[in-house]
Structure 1
């Protein structure tokens, strides 16, 4: 899912996470014993335990992607070239940089 857009979802103690169910709540169980399939560590309000200390600060520092028709071309090329790092014979830093430069020059103007 997506991160909540309202800061109160991370900070307000009167806001609870509706996905986190209390024990015995009416919901389908993952097993005959009634154990929950939810393995997410949660705070006292049902939010993921990392939401306030990790996710919220990251969202506060986030910036929008650049609005350019070239974003897709850059992203595709960048991901493709970095994908070579996960092969049986990954390139060295200099080789990867040279190949990335060559391929980006093909898809980006100037």
Structure 2
């Protein structure tokens, strides 16, 4: 394994260890979110993010609908209206800022490079 890859894995592992959800704030993010990730080659991937807080622990699962992939989150952090989720198995990270009305997350998907991503909360 290359040194850069090892360093990135160690950094993500350290970050995962540091992430801890704040239960009251995390519940704001609970629910189903949907968006489209437009990758640099022009491909558009439909994404569904499912966030749930139980017993003070927030968990998330990301579905890449067009790739038929389901990826459980390694760590979830909420802080000051921002959500950060790590997906260590695929070396991915989702970051988003919650809109004032709580209906959208504006942020980015990072997996090698960073790509803008907007997710909209599904109606209950």
TM-score (norm 1): 0.24
When normalised by structure 2's length, the TM-score is 0.22
Give the number of the structure whose alpha-carbon radius of gyration is greater.
1
- Structure with bigger helix share is 1
